[in-house]
Amino acid sequence: MSGLRVIPARRHGRERLYVCGIDGSSVAWYDREAGRVNLLSEDRRQEVLDALGPFLTGPVAVGPPPVPTPAELARLSLHPDDDLAPNRPGEALVIALDRDPGPAHRLRPDPRRRALAAEQAVGEALDRLEGAGWHTLHSVPLPGGDRIHHLVIGPGGLFAVHSLYARRQRILVADPMVTVGRHDPQPLLRRVRVDADRASYALTAEIHPVLALVEPARLEIATPPRQVRVLKDTDLSDLARLGGVLKPADVEALHAMARDRHIWSRV
């Protein structure tokens, strides 16, 4: 009997099976998602595989733990308070509404709640791209109280996405103005471009501005916008079709850089 025990655990969002000795020290672990058994002691390879035998599914790689990439080291060294990756879509608005929910009875809906609904809808759509090699950061803070609603990083490049609530409204785009329903036109495209420019400065990389419209009744583009993609929330999945711009290692490195709150304090 080897005396090894298999203990399930969850670390860094991954399910792992740890193989431990009698004294509780780890000898190896099996990362199911990666299909890899990481050995801390090559001498006990066969004992580890025997212990994990009932749990192994399909072919697995066996060897010492891989050397962390620079992106992984940057993530591990980042203080939790400075990590933007856990931000939920509309994080800043959620906090603002918790602090000041406003009067219980209003004649008109609180515009912050509509803005939050838009950011949540767009954020959920962008988060679904993760399986295709994309990462999305939400509510990226900028000096002066501004925010980038969503920063998307993937094989097709980097995109600063601004969410706009447009449910059942006619949207008219005449660069730089955007008109929602019967409201007065606003120079929204100018702001979207400025946000992307500030992000480009912070990350020293080209970032494309995107305006994402949530549930518009109709979209009319009178003047084609300069540089800005205007997409409906249902079309955001089209970003996953873009590729050939960034390699996976570049995506991870840029994501590791962008998730650090301090990066954004200089723009």
Q: What is the pLDDT of residue 34?
A: 82
**Which tokens is 94 given?**
């959620």
Q: What is the pLDDT of residue 234?
A: 95
Alpha carbons 188 and 197: distance in angstroms, whole number: 14
Q: Residues in the chain, how many?
A: 267
Is the separation of the CB atoms in 15 and 34 below 8 Å?
no
Q: Which residues contact 213 (CB under 8 A, 6 or more apart)?
A: 164, 166, 171, 219, 230, 231, 232, 233
Per the listing, tokens 């970032």 go with 207
Query: Which H or E run includes 154?
Result: strand 147-154
Side-chain half-sphere CA neighbours of 249 within 13 A: 3
- Reported as a pLDDT band with limits 50, 70 and 90, residue 230 is very high
Side chain identity at residue 52, one-letter code: L
C-alpha distance from residue 84 to each of 16, 113, 255 (Å): 25, 22, 10
Q: What percent of the chain has pLDDT over 70?
A: 95
User: Cα–chain-centroid distance for residue 71?
Assistant: 15
Q: What is the pLDDT of residue 223?
A: 87
Alpha carbons 4 and 208: distance in angstroms, whole number: 53
Q: What percent of the chain has pLDDT over 90?
A: 64
- Does pLDDT of 11 surpass 70? no
Is the separation of the CB atoms in 155 and 205 below 8 Å?
no
Low-confidence winner among 4-18, 145-159, 218-232 (lowest mean pLDDT)? 4-18
- Does pLDDT of 105 surpass 80? no
Q: What is the pLDDT of residue 40?
A: 87
Does 15 or 163 have the greater pLDDT score?
163
The pLDDT of 177-189, averaged and rounded, is 95
Q: What is the mean pLDDT of the chain?
A: 90
C-alpha dihedral (224, 226, 227, 230), degrees to nearest 10: -40
Alpha carbons 218 and 197: distance in angstroms, whole number: 29
Task: Give the pLDDT confidence of 234-246 residue by residue, as tens digits.
Answer: 999 999 998 889 9
Q: What is the pLDDT of residue 26?
A: 83
Low-confidence winner among 49-58, 70-79, 167-176, 241-250 (lowest mean pLDDT)? 70-79
- Reported as a pLDDT band with limits 50, 70 and 90, residue 13 is low
Q: What is the pLDDT of residue 178?
A: 97
- Reported as a pLDDT band with limits 50, 70 and 90, residue 205 is very high
Q: Which of these, 216, 203, 223, lies nearest to 169 by C-alpha position?
A: 216
- Does pLDDT of 1 surpass 70? no
Tell whether the torsion through CA atoms of 54, 58, 63 and 67 is positive or negative: negative
Is the separation of the CB atoms in 62 and 37 below 8 Å?
yes
**What is the chain's Cα-based Rg?**
23
Backbone angles phi, psi at 243, to 5 degrees: -165, -175
